[in-house]
Amino acid sequence: MDSFLLSDCVPRLIYSMYWERKDTAILGLSPARFTQKFKADFGITPMQHLTSIRLEKAKRFLLETTLTLEQISESIGYQNGYYLNRIFMKHMKVTPAKYRKAHTV
């Protein structure tokens, strides 16, 4: 898979697989087979990849905007700021507010 697929198509495909309950028939794979193949090829699951993309976008929004956590969460595909806060803390080991404060002038 090339970087275009990873950066553009995969997040949409993962979204449709998990939240809209659509299958991956366009690729000729079941959702389970897609997940297995993805993990074999890239070493992480599609959901881990999607989380990574979302966190990178969240970090960029935190540093480059004054958007609230609620606004950021909506723009990156999370249901609310509370959930984004939990995921951010789990992966970054710091709250979004502390991350923003530590990395802005």
Structure tokens given for 92: 């970054």
For 56-68, write each residue's pLDDT tens digit.
999 999 999 999 9
List the domains of the chain with CATH numbers: 3-43 (no CATH), 48-103 (1.10.10.60)
Q: Measure the CA–CA gap between 20 and 101, rounded to whole angstroms.
A: 36
Reported as a pLDDT band with limits 50, 70 and 90, residue 41 is confident
- Vertex 93: Cα angle to 91 and 98 (nearest 5): 120
pTM comes to: 0.76
For 22-36, write each residue's pLDDT tens digit.
555 666 777 788 788
Mean pLDDT, rounded, for 69-95: 96
Contact 70, 60 (CB under 8 A): no
